[in-house]
Amino acid sequence: MKNGPKFAIYRNTLEKKAEEVRRSMSAQKAAQVVARLDIPSDEGDLSQQHHEEWIFLNRNTIDMKLLREISDALQRIEHGTYGVCLECEEPISVKRLDAVPWARYCVKCQEEIAARIAAGETVDDYQEADR
């Protein structure tokens, strides 16, 4: 499957999404700085602060992962391999691409991979960032 004009729409969507994630990441960072300035030097607040930090880091990890997925998808558009399942090399349905434009796998393969992960198998890097 070669680069068709229809991929321009997905590229647009992906770039917009990446922009949105980056913006939300820097907004969170700014909020974190403000929160720190507001923290009274009271020992009782420490555990709460750690908890918030953990959520922040976790949230950031998800965003970073999503950004990477998006940039991988943009590369696949460049290489003309976008919209093809990386596992079975069948075309990924338009419905799925519309829902998850950075999808690497067709629904069937994604479900199989998810089942393997659920079964406790470590599948490196195969888990899809989703929201």
Please say which residue, 31 or 88, places its beta carbon nearer to Zn ion.
88
Q: How far is the CB of 111 from Zn ion (least distance, A)?
A: 10
Which residues of this protein are in contact with Zn ion, per CB under 5 A?
85, 87-88, 106, 109
Q: Which is nearer to Zn ion, 57 or 117 (CB)?
A: 117
Nearest distance in Å: CB 117, Zn ion? 16
The distance of closest approach from Cβ of residue 96 to Zn ion in the complex, given in angstroms and rounded to an integer, is 10
3-state secondary structure the chain: CCCCCHHHHHHHHHHHHHHHHHHHHHHHHHHHHHHHHHCCCCHHHHHHHHHHHHHHHHHHHHHHHHHHHHHHHHHHHHHCCCCECCCCCCECCHHHHHHCCCCCCCHHHHHHHHHHHHCCCCCCCCCCCCC
